[in-house]
Structure 1
Amino acid sequence: MQVVSAQRRAKEKGHSDVLYLDPVHKKFVEEVSSCNILMVKDNVISTPLLTGTILPGITRRSIIEIAQNLGIQVSKSALLR
């Protein structure tokens, strides 16, 4: 129910989704409400580590595998907001 409420509030403010931060420091990007997050910068795909609060996603896994097979660098690390 918390996710639905957060999504509703985000949409009311004109946002398309909710971006969740780590629960301890509130400064690292973890995921959005409906999927994992991957970012591209300088030809490197970055995604947060799968620590206790992040669910592993099939699409995330597939993108990482395909990228690595194509020789694209993938970084799994903390993403500062």
Structure 2
Amino acid sequence: MSRYAVNSLLYRLKKDPEFRARFTRDPGSAVADADLTNAERSAFVARDMRRINELGGYLHLVMSIPGLAASQRATT
């Protein structure tokens, strides 16, 4: 819903290991009750760090959360 909501969720992911573990297991469920727009929620569920940053997520928070980014595998 706002830059504040995006960054609040990022901060929670950084500081709350239990919430981060829940997010890792089921991101959709973890962010279901967050005050986010559909675009923001979709970016978190997809772990699309670029999009989260474009939607107002502070880069230093985005980059400082262990395991947040979706794993990127090379396709051959």
Larger Rg: 1
TM-score, scaled relative to structure 1: 0.27
Please state which structure has a larger fraction of its residues in strand.
1
Q: Which structure exhibits the higher relative contact order, with contacts defined as CA atoms closer than 8 Å and separated by 6 or more residues?
A: 2
